[in-house]
Amino acid sequence: MRLVDTRMRDLDDTDREILRLLLEDARRPYADIADRVDLSPPAVSDRVDRLHEFGIIERFTVDLDRSALREGVQVLVTLQPDAEAVPDLRHALTTLDGVEHVFETADGRLVASMAVPDGDVRGYLAGALDLDRVRDLSVDLLAGSDWTPTLGDAAIGVDCVECGNTVTGEGVVTAVGGERRAFCCESCEAAFRERYRELEEGA
């Protein structure tokens, strides 16, 4: 998809309803969504494209019924890493096969749900994580799990890549250097483009 300059505007009730319908079923046809939100299918497609451009929809995924698959022992693992190790260990967890969800708590713990092939959690983690940087590790056997994402009255919460302020309805989402970037105003966009151009010329 080619990214073009796009005027930022906040989510409206129709956007939220489209997101709720996609959360229920990411494969739902646009025609079905259109009937539910009183729009045409092309209008729904345009809105979904916009939500992609703003980074609200990142990808469509498959929701698996784990009970129908044999894949190992389902566990919930809680790690208490050294403070400086949290980012590295969090990233390592997200790349480990079998890990379904990773959460970082406000006090610096990492909590992950995962399927361990042979039940040896410590050995499984040691293959991808530096456990010497973990002060404490606990494992709970899972009897079941449900994931029910909710939307509520969410609004767009994007920060300007130039100044860090929240991007409001006056903001702009545009492609710079082949990547989608959000700016709170045209001045920030111009300043970023100028710095980017100078960096390109100096490279």
The pTM (predicted TM-score) of the whole model is 0.48
Q: Which of 123, 128, 96, 127 is nearest to 112 (CA)?
A: 96
Same domain, 89 and 125: yes
- Rg for the chain, CA atoms, rounded: 21
Same domain, yes or no, for 81 and 120?
yes
Domain harbouring 90, CATH code: 3.30.70.920
In a domain, 170, yes or no: yes
Taking only the tens place, the pLDDT of each residue in 5-26 is 445 556 788 888 888 888 888 7
Domain residue limits at 112: 72-141
pLDDT tens figures, 65-100? 555 444 678 889 999 999 999 999 999 998 888 888
Same domain, 82 and 131: yes
User: Token digits for 19?
Assistant: 């997101």
* Number of domains, the chain: 2
DSSP-derived secondary structure for 14-48:
HHHHHHHHHHH-TT--HHHHHHHHT--HHHHHHHH
